[in-house]
Amino acid sequence: MTIARGGRLPNGLDAAMERLNTSVDVDGALWREDIRGSVAHARGLARAGVISESDARAITDGLDRVAGEIERGELVFRRDREDVHMNVEARLVELIGPVGGKLHTGRSRNDQVATDLRLYCRRLTEETLAALGRLADVLLARAEAEIDTLMPAYTHLQRAQPSRLSHHLMAWQELVWRDRGRLTDALTRLNECPLGSGAVAGSGFPLDRAGVAAELGFERPTRNSIDATGSRDFLIELASALALTGVHLSRIGEELVLWSSSEFGFVALSDGFSTSSSMMPQKKNPDVAELVRGRAARGMGALMSLLALEKGLAFGYGRDLQEDKRPIMDAFDCVLPCLDALAGALATCRFDAERMKAALERGHLCATDLADLLALKGVPFREAHHVVGALVREAESRGVELLALPEETFAAAHPALATPERAGALDAALAVERRSVLGGPAKKTVLAAVADARVRWKNAASLR
């Protein structure tokens, strides 16, 4: 079977080549951007005097009709028309006649698809930024609500020092804040308009590139036609930011998996974000967190695909770039659903404050505070570290916590420990409050961090 063509290649396209050549199954998702870009291009042609105002109105009215048909599901894209661009243009000509063929004046599919991609990525990036904001709102609200919930801080997944849940939630928030910054930064560089770059060397028509760029909401036209049509580093940068966002969400998911286990028991996810086992009736699985971890792997793969796709390309458009759409679409699909699902899970979960507090009672978590007490009394910290380490070893040999060692054991370890201040040093709640330095877990410090974060997120949202 062959597909009929015309023009430079009058012979039919082999069916095997047609299957390889057709991209509408993927780039059909760009139809909104394709029509929006085409409307702006038609108006720009009229402003430049390349087509008449009446022709431009006929084209834009026709494109509105095409958009309506697609929106209502009345227009089904045809594979023999290769891509979304040819499907839209062919339907336009069917609706308004030969004047529809004037739309492609001064334009190539090369600058057309580059524009569509930038518009699409800008729209999805804005949606992602909004979703990051929603997750941040949940984290800040829970941090405020759980301000009196104490828990261990961990290093090497071992109980390390006393802290508070709100401080931990704010650590997650800081990751999300930086993810927002990377996406915003990438958005700045992608927000240039390729229309008018033609196939590779611009256009001989006096196009209003600046006007078209402004109409489409771009900051400026692209500065070089070869670069505009043949480079996709804006996709790689976005995919990188999205992949890292996925990694951060995966880390949060990993902690939710751990914390919801019987071994930790720190959190219980709501039924709406959990599943049961098909075999074991007692099970309640933290699938939302596990699915978030899994999506992160896909997002990393999307980034690798785009890096590999561009690394061997000479300048100027190559058909390899037809494969640039699926990875970036997948990259967004790996992050957007996870952001909203994780926000919902965290908004509806129940933290077990008593279980977290109980975890502070094992593991000698105030050992550092005891060493700090010695340091405050003039003992070199290295010596203090050694003294307290020996006390921890003694406590473990007796099967007790540091606090339970007898008075004479402390006095024998170092005279400076024979003091009433020792009890305060070994009190977990007091240990948390002593850490009031910027970035620490003391209550007033964490509340100040929450307030600061609220201002940052509010200001950032107002700039978009």
Residues with a known catalytic role = 156, 277
Q: At what angle do helices 367-376 and 381-398 cross, to 10 degrees?
A: 140
Beta bridge mates, 154: 159
The letter for the amino acid at 363 is G
Determine contact, residues 168/153, Cβ cutoff 8 Å: yes
Measured distance CA(449)–CA(437) in Å, rounded: 11
25 contact partners, CB below 8 Å, separation of at least 6? 79
Q: At what angle do helices 325-348 and 233-259 cross, to 10 degrees?
A: 30
Burial of residue 277 (CB within 10 Å: 0-12, 13-18, 19+) is: exposed
Measured distance CA(211)–CA(232) in Å, rounded: 23
Beta bridge mates, 343: none
Determine contact, residues 322/232, Cβ cutoff 8 Å: no
Measured distance CA(402)–CA(342) in Å, rounded: 39
Residue bearing tokens 């930790």? 264
In 3D, which of 55, 51, 47, 84 has the Cα closest to residue 213?
47
With H, G, I as helix, E, B as strand and everything else as coil, classify residue 115: helix
How do 220-221 and 192-193 pair as beta strands?
Answer: parallel
With H, G, I as helix, E, B as strand and everything else as coil, classify residue 159: strand
Cα-Cα-Cα-Cα dihedral sign, residues 215, 221, 225, 228: negative
Phi, psi of 159 (to 5 degrees): -60, 130
DSSP 169-234: HHHHHHHHHHHHHHHHHHHHHH-EE-TT-TTTT--SS---HHHHHHHTT-SEE-S-HHHHHH--HH
DSSP 48-64: TTSS-HHHHHHHHHHHH
